Structures are given as structure tokens and as C-alpha cells.
Amino acid sequence: MDQNCRILLVTNNPASAWVKAVTRILTQMGEICLVSAQDAAAACQEGCYDLALMDTSALAEDAADLVAELADCQDNLPIVVVTTSPTWQRAREVFLAGATDYVRRTFDEEKLRQLCQSAITRRKAVVRPNDSLGG
């Protein structure tokens, strides 16, 4: 497992049990930057991240709008949207905005690690057109 990852954790509820658990689990993968939804785009512009994990449980903003902002900040940034109440309408909106995955919130440590590692691995597997042409 890559232990040098930079993960942007976006939440408006940093004191929640889920955020505390996720922070503890994902710290094993690397550096966690915990920011509010309001500060997410600015944080994304300031640094290069391997993953954005977005908790929508206490989100006042539109999740799709925030996903679009993050996607515009950094090319190929995997954005995983986590929710307590998934719906197909919201899933469609966030995928169209640029999300990599849309999942129900879980406390299962192994599922969280696999979810994040899978998103990061898919990002690293993306070949840019110029890379394969040698230019």
C-alpha cells in the first residue's frame, strides 16, 4: 500500500465519529488534509492530492457543484463522494460533475482502505495522450 499519498478529506462535520475513524484509518496511507466544503477548492488549488474524499452528510452546498470545482482544480483527481443516504439522482449528478465513485458511508476499515487505494490506483493508471507519444 502506498504510504505517501496526500488525501483531501472534505467535510462540514469534522467532529463526527465517521470522520475521526476515517482520519485514523487513512493516516496509514499518508497525509490527510481535513477541510470544510467552503475551503475545499482553495485547498485543492494550493496542493496536489492523490485523492479527494468528500463526506456529504452535513453538506449545505450542492455536492455536484463541489465535485465540479474540485475536478477543475486538479486534472485526474479521483473524487470519492461518500453519503449516508445514496440516491440514483445524486449519483448521476456527481458522476456527471466528475466524481470517480459514489458510495454509502461505512466504518469498515478494510472497505475504506480498498475504496481509497482503488481510486488512487486507477488515477495512476491513466495515461495522458502525450505520455504515450513521447512528447
> What distance in Å separates the CA atoms of residue 131 and residue 127, rounded to the nearest whole number?
7
Instruction: Name the CATH code of domain 6-126 (choices 3.40.50.10860, 1.10.3720.10, 3.40.50.2300, 3.20.20.70).
Output: 3.40.50.2300
Q: How far apart are the first and last CA of the chain?
A: 30
Handedness of CA 51, 84, 18, 108 (dihedral sign): negative
Q: Residues 18-42: pLDDT tens digits?
A: 999 999 988 988 999 999 999 999 9
pLDDT of residue 135: 44
* CA separation, residue 65 to residues 69, 77, 93, 95 (Å): 6, 15, 9, 11
Q: Residues 76-135: pLDDT tens digits?
A: 899 999 998 888 999 999 999 999 999 999 888 899 889 888 888 876 665 444 444 444
DSSP H or E run through 29: none
**Bridging pattern class, strands 79-83 and 101-104:** parallel
pTM, two decimals, is 0.85
What is the residue extent of each domain of the chain?
6-126
> What distance in Å separates the CA atoms of residue 49 and residue 39, rounded to the nearest whole number?
15
- Interhelix angle 17-26/109-125, rounded to 10 degrees, is 60
